[in-house]
């Protein structure tokens, strides 16, 4: 694999945004994800390879380390920043259809709940895994989820709940989604949510963090970037 793609993956993994950033200290002064993505495009490396062999490869390692508790939230946030500066270089290729997403995922925090930090992180990992996110924000009703599902035809919908009280909304929302659009995969998560609860409400998948959910998506819908 091209050296520059390996370096892009390392920049995402370590959170090296650009040449000016001081983080991580041992990479100070070196090109970051920003410059390397620009240079890779100038060299004629395909945007698809930059995405899959650079950004997604780096983000996969971030997800595994976060799942294994060897890195923490601040590390994930700098990795997300590195990924997003690179994505700015790649966005024209998404818009023109040169690179394709694996599929779409509708995300939202359920009705009555305003917590969105966890949902944003999960969404960012999904995006880093090659999925297009339609983020409905917080306090999202079943009706709004169903409207978005019908409009965007996603492969899956991700529901987040942080309150024991809003887990009750999660239950009715998951059931209403499954009644209206049985084919869409419902993935649930959030601090009070458990696997038993997810099974009871008829969700297709539960994960305590982003990586388990991403593994589930990639297993059920491996996608095709060609």
| Residues lying near ligand B12 in the complex (CB under 6 A) | 73, 112-119, 121-122, 158-160, 162-164, 187-192, 207, 209-210, 213
Comparison of 18 and 215: residue with beta carbon closer to ligand B12: 215
Name the H helices within 46-72. 47-49, 57-67
Comparison of 50 and 107: residue with beta carbon closer to ligand B12: 107
Distance between CA 124 and CA 59 in Å, rounded? 10
Name the H helices within the chain. 3-14, 33-42, 47-49, 57-67, 73-96, 117-128, 142-152, 166-180, 195-200, 210-220
For the CB of residue 181, give the shortest distance to ligand B12 in the complex, in Å: 17
Comparison of 154 and 190: residue with beta carbon closer to ligand B12: 190
For the CB of residue 94, give the shortest distance to ligand B12 in the complex, in Å: 23
C-beta of residue 195 within 8 angstroms of C-beta of residue 104: no
What are residue 170's phi and psi, to 5 degrees?
A: -60, -40
For the CB of residue 161, give the shortest distance to ligand B12 in the complex, in Å: 7
Distance between CA 163 and CA 192 in Å, rounded? 7
For the CB of residue 16, give the shortest distance to ligand B12 in the complex, in Å: 22
Rg of the chain over all Cα atoms, to the nearest angstrom: 18
Comparison of 35 and 116: residue with beta carbon closer to ligand B12: 116
Comparison of 74 and 92: residue with beta carbon closer to ligand B12: 74
For the CB of residue 38, give the shortest distance to ligand B12 in the complex, in Å: 31
């Amino acid at each position: 694999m091209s050296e520059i793609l390996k370096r892009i993956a390392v920049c995402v993994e370590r959170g090296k945004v650009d040449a000016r950033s001081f983080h991580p200290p041992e990479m100070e002064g070196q090109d970051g994800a920003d410059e390397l993505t620009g240079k890779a495009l100038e060299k004629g490396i395909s945007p698809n390879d930059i995405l899959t062999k650079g950004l997604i490869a780096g983000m996969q390692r971030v997800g595994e380390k976060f799942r294994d508790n060897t890195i923490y939230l601040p590390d994930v946030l700098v990795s997300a920043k590195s990924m997003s500066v690179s994505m700015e270089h790649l966005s024209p290729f998404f818009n023109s259809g040169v690179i394709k997403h694996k599929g779409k995922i509708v995300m939202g925090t359920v009705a009555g709940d305003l917590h969105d930090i966890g949902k944003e992180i999960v969404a960012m990992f999904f995006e880093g895994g090659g999925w297009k996110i339609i983020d409905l924000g917080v306090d999202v009703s079943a009706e709004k989820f169903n409207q978005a599902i019908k409009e965007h035809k996603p492969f899956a919908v991700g529901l987040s709940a942080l309150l024991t009280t809003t887990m009750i909304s999660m239950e009715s929302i998951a059931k209403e989604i499954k009644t209206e659009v049985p084919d869409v995969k419902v993935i649930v998560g959030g601090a009070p949510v458990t696997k038993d609860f997810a099974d009871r409400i008829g969700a297709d998948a539960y994960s305590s963090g982003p990586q388990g959910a991403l593994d589930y998506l990639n297993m059920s819908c491996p996608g095709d970037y060609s």
